Amino acid sequence: MRVRTIMLIAALAALQVPATAQQLPPPKGAAHPNDQAVKAVGVTVEPALDGMFRAFEKYPVVALGDAHGLAEQMDFYTAVVRDPRFARNVRNLVVEFGASSQQQVIDRYLAGETVPYVELRKVWNDTVGWAPPPALVGFAKFFAAVRDLNKSLRPNRQIKVWLGEPPLDWTAPSRDQIQAAGSARDSYPATLIRDKILAKGEKALVIYGAAHFASVPTFLKGQLNATHPGLMFVILPYAPPFQYPGCAALLSQVTAIWPQPALATRSRDETGGGARECFTLSLPPLEPEPGGSRPGGSGPRGPVLPRPEPPAIEGDAVLFLGPLEKLAQGPLGPFKMLAQGRFLPDYLFDPELRREIKRRSDLGGPPLLAAPSDLAIRKADYAFDLGAPGYREQIEKLFATYDRNRDGVITSDEYHDPLN
């Protein structure tokens, strides 16, 4: 089973991000962002939304490599679905950050039905390959944005979000069942895309960690290519800690488009000239996991095993959301993301949820993580309308209980694990 510790297992690193990227002044004589796409060294550079929808004209599946925690990228997903071209020409989304066992729940929620928060959160908490579960604030906001947008669309034009994590009934699974579900994290979405979307002549935007788009036969892209070769267009993120030395030749064109996100696309019929390396993502080396963090870890689960060298990933395009120094100060692990309030807070504070995650971990599922030592959970980060009864009440109760000095921030000295 490939249990994902966020940003490390599927070989992507978490990022610390300010609220917005700042605009860099365009170079002298640069084209205006609204001018036609700029072409250089066999590469087209243009506003990202235009470039992505241009890709959909040729390819039925466009894949966006997710950086798991990059705020600007999650905001970009919302911009994509809000563009009228998405509902008109695409409609389907396949995402890694939801459990397919809860497909009916997300369908009801996105259709505008009333779904209590304790039920809605199963969408991300019932996944099989994440530790902690993908309860990132940006993903929750994205679901809420799709729900809000669907209210303005006719039922037959509403956006459909397909949850890509393999189904697993967590009521009483065996270790073998958990392992089998974890092993299907690429084959399940590949089958879904083939049977539910391509077989009907439809298109889809696929949002998964970039490592799933490596040209490896057992990975998502490789499995889809086995039956539908060449139909997937892959967009890689320009974000730390990834290294794109070949992108320097394109930055003068990219800065002419910022602060709008920019997309650099190479023709499959051309090499891309001096910028060819820009479209090859080299992932950072993976460290061995700490003991007990996954099946096969140290202690009763076996010795620590070295992780394989991550494969390079060839992309068709690179998404430039902003200058690297404005997007992040470096890669962060799940503990840092928990500490900074990037996740919905019930993972750390809700005793019922923590007991359930601990039970699943004891069965062989993803581990329950302790609170980091530098906790700083800000109430303002959760002040958005999720449209799920019980969400706001939980936030209010949480801060009433833990925020002793009433400054709107829960720190490590105010926190205690509700299981202790």
In a domain, 335, yes or no: no
List the structure tokens of 340: 């900074």
Task: Using DSSP bridges, classify how beta strands 317-320 and 91-99 pair: parallel, antiparallel or unpaired.
Answer: unpaired
Global confidence as pTM: 0.86
Look at residue 408 in the predicted model and tell me its pLDDT.
Answer: 96
Look at residue 290 in the predicted model and tell me its pLDDT.
Answer: 44
In a domain, 62, yes or no: yes
In a domain, 126, yes or no: yes
CATH of the domain at 59: 3.40.50.11550
For residue 129, the tally of other CB atoms under 10 A from its CB is: 25
In a domain, 85, yes or no: yes
| Total tally of structural domains belonging to the chain | 1
Pairwise CA distance, residues 234 & 55, whole Å: 10
> pLDDT below 70 — which residues of the chain?
1-41, 241, 243, 269-275, 283-310, 328-333
Look at residue 286 in the predicted model and tell me its pLDDT.
Answer: 53
Look at residue 246 in the predicted model and tell me its pLDDT.
Answer: 79
For residue 35, the tally of other CB atoms under 10 A from its CB is: 11
186 conformational bin, left if phi > 0, alpha if psi -120 to 50, beta if neither: alpha
Host domain of residue 192: 4-329
Pairwise CA distance, residues 327 & 17, whole Å: 5
Q: Are 335 and 348 in contact (CB under 8 A)?
A: no
In a domain, 18, yes or no: yes
Look at residue 30 in the predicted model and tell me its pLDDT.
Answer: 41
Residue bearing tokens 């610390």: 16
In a domain, 313, yes or no: yes
Helices (H), 289-420: 324-327, 334-339, 346-349, 351-363, 391-402
In a domain, 393, yes or no: no
In a domain, 385, yes or no: no
Look at residue 328 in the predicted model and tell me its pLDDT.
Answer: 59
- Strand order across the 317-320 sheet: 38-40, 43-47, 262-266, 317-320, 232-237, 61-66, 203-209, 91-99, 160-165
Look at residue 287 in the predicted model and tell me its pLDDT.
Answer: 52
Q: Are 303 and 220 in contact (CB under 8 A)?
A: no
Count, in order, helices (H) and strands (E) of the chain: 16, 17
Residue bearing tokens 């070989």: 11
